[in-house]
Amino acid sequence: MPSYIDIAVNLVGSPLEQECDTLISDAAAHGVSPLIVIGSSLDESQQAIACIARYPNALYTTAGVHPHHASEWDATSRDRLIQLARQPGVVAIGECGLDYNRDFSPRPKQREAFEAQLALAVELEMPVLMHERDAHEDFAAILQRYRPHLKGALLHCFTGNRASLERYIELDLHLGITGWVCDERRGQELAELVVDIPAERIMIETDSPYLLPRSMRPKPKSSKNKPQYLPYISRVIAQLRGETEEAFARQAYHNSCAFFGLEADYEPL
């Protein structure tokens, strides 16, 4: 059975948190292990660190401030994030970035928090996991100043257009693809673009509990997306790219291990 890593699981503060034991075991039964838990605020990142300590090697986490929480970034945030980032099991800075779709935080504060976290990732020599929605121009302009110095840069849940894809490839980003690609209503453009993502730059994720793949049959009874569904997303992407399920899963797994500094359970490609 192929191995998979779910690079984006919204566990802390979500409906999945109450079923953590079952979530991990069900995912592992489908070859999905470990899981990368997302830290979306400093408080949530602290909670995620406490959570993953109970599941060594099964869970890892990021630590950062999502643009929705950027208004919380203040003079104490940098030092606190440094302390969080140095805790065992923290594998990246983030989720950070820009979100001009919902604008839950003022855009100037989003840009301030994003830039501060990029600078910190450079300082700590850690990769960064990022979010961008309807903010491509500002996102790329800020990122390009730091990209040459970043250990690694991952834009998770990529759903952009061809122009943004080409720009992100030019910036040498890793791109995370979700079950959005399985949505016949909204995911058609992504389904066309996914073939053009360089093999060494693609990763896969559920972004659970969100974005349940619409094309799954039989359809799960619950609308909650779960890491155990990652192999289905992987198969869909492999078919779109004209690759075998095994070869694509192996490549995505290897990419994720290399990016997050995790030990693979088999030899690299």
pLDDT tens string 156-208: 999 999 999 999 999 999 999 999 999 989 999 999 999 999 999 999 999 99
CA-closest candidate to residue 62, choices 19, 35, 101, 92: 92
pLDDT of 266 over the 60 cut: no
Our measurement of the distance from residue 71's CA atom to the centroid of its chain's CA atoms, rounded to an integer in Å, reads 22
pLDDT tens string 16-41: 999 999 999 999 999 999 999 999 99
Binding site feature residues: 95, 131, 156, 207
Report, as an integer, the average pLDDT of 42-71.
Answer: 97
Helix 162-170 and helix 136-146: axis angle, to 10°? Answer: 10
Instruction: Report the CATH architecture of 4-260.
Output: Alpha-Beta Barrel (3.20)
Taking every pair of Cα atoms in the chain, the longest distance, rounded to a whole number of angstroms, is 50
Q: Alpha carbon of 64 to those of 25, 103, 164, 196: distances in Å?
A: 27, 18, 24, 30
Name the token pair of 118: 């990029």
- DSSP letters, 6-17, are EEEE--TTSGGG
31 Cβ neighbours under 8 A, 6+ residues apart: 1, 2, 3, 4, 231
Q: What pLDDT score does 264 carry?
A: 72
Q: Distance between CA atoms of 49 and 37, rounded to whole angstroms?
A: 9
Every domain of the chain and the residues it spans: 4-260
pLDDT of 105 over the 80 cut: yes
Q: What pLDDT score does 265 carry?
A: 65
Binding site feature residues for a divalent metal cation: 95, 131, 156, 207
